[in-house]
């Protein structure tokens, strides 16, 4: 019995985990389809949680997650499902008659959590929420699609400034922008996995047309081998917070280029490298 419980519950918060939540979501989808009912899925993300972990340590971060989960549970009804999906991500399902009420519930959760002061180790912390909302209707009830849409709506809420909710609608320009960014982020992640980034060198010449050095620039290859320029993928990198990851890749590979530079008795051309302000401010 203990093993069964552990397999379906989050160890820190004792809430249902992703496995248990996805099972309950499938059951809810079946109910909505059969009963022509209306329900809503919410995808919650704690704003700036990584900063709490980085500044105060994972023990404080864990305590904040536990206290936020307890507050959320107290704000919801007994029939509402609350689960921790992992990290600082939570999900909720609610039986509600319309999107307007779903938005009001989300805004109530956001306002209450923001106003609450969490006491941890003699210090007070505050937390913010970004919430994505998607309707579970009889005509589109695939659980995996619903989870993806709720995640996209949550990303749109964060992209618009955090501390707010966003409802998934097909014709919403914010949703379209979020989907493009997330799709690009997936392509970037696959490019990292497949080692499809490249260093390209741009000549820097003096007034006498002699090469003084080179500016190192990043390029990406698509899955079909086409060269992808930074303007097509750097906005997504910035919005996903991956600039230090790009800079670290460039540093390693530009140093490798420099190490392989042919020896010369004369003055060696230099290599320049662009770094983001985020990397300049990173102590590591």
Q: Active-site residues: which are they?
A: 88
Q: Is residue 13 packed enough to be buried (19+ CB in 10 Å), middle (13-18) or exposed (0-12)?
A: buried
How would you classify residue 115: left for phi > 0, otherwise alpha for psi between -120 and 50, otherwise beta? alpha
Nearby residues of 7 by Cβ (< 8 Å), 6 or more positions away: 19
CA–CA dist 243, 237 (Å, integer)? 6
Whole-angstrom Cα Rg for the chain:
24
DSSP state of 268: P
DSSP state of 82: E
- CA 190 → CA 175, 222, 224, 265, distances in Å? 22, 9, 13, 42
Locate 143 and state its tokens. 């659980």
Strand 197-205 and strand 39-47: the pairing is unpaired
Please give the backbone phi and psi of residue 132, each rounded to the nearest 5 degrees, phi first: -100, 135
CA–CA dist 39, 163 (Å, integer)? 23
CA–CA dist 173, 179 (Å, integer)? 10
Helix (H) or strand (E) holding 269: none
Q: Which candidate, 68, 111, 114, places its Cα nearest to that of 92?
A: 68
Largest CA distance in the chain: 82
């Amino acid at each position: 019995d203990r093993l069964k419980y552990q397999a379906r519950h989050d160890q820190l918060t004792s809430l249902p985990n992703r496995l248990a939540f996805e099972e309950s979501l499938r059951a809810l989808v079946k109910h909505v389809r059969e009963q022509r009912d209306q329900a809503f899925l919410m995808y919650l993300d704690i704003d700036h949680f990584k900063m709490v972990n980085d500044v105060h340590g994972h023990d404080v971060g864990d305590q904040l997650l536990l206290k936020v989960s307890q507050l959320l549970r107290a704000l919801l009804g007994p029939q509402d499902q609350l689960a921790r999906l992992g990290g600082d991500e939570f999900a909720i399902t609610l039986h509600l008659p319309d999107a307007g009420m779903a938005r009001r519930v989300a805004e109530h959760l956001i306002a209450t959590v923001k106003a609450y002061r969490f006491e941890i180790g003699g210090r007070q912390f505050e937390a913010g929420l970004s919430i994505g909302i998607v309707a579970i209707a009889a005509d589109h009830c695939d659980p995996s699609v619903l989870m993806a849409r709720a995640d996209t709506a949550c990303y749109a809420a964060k992209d618009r400034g955090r501390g707010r909710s966003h409802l998934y609608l097909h014709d919403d320009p914010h949703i379209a922008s979020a989907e493009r960014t997330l799709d690009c982020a997936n392509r970037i992640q696959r490019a990292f996995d497949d080692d499809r980034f490249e260093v390209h060198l741009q000549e820097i010449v003096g007034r006498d047309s002699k090469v003084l050095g080179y500016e190192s620039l990043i390029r990406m290859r698509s899955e079909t081998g086409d060269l992808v320029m930074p303007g097509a993928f750097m906005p997504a990198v910035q919005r996903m917070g991956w600039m230090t990851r790009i800079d670290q890749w460039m540093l390693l590979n530009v140093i490798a280029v420099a190490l392989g530079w042919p020896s010369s008795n004369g003055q060696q051309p230099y290599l320049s490298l662009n770094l983001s302000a985020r990397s300049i401010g990173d102590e590591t």
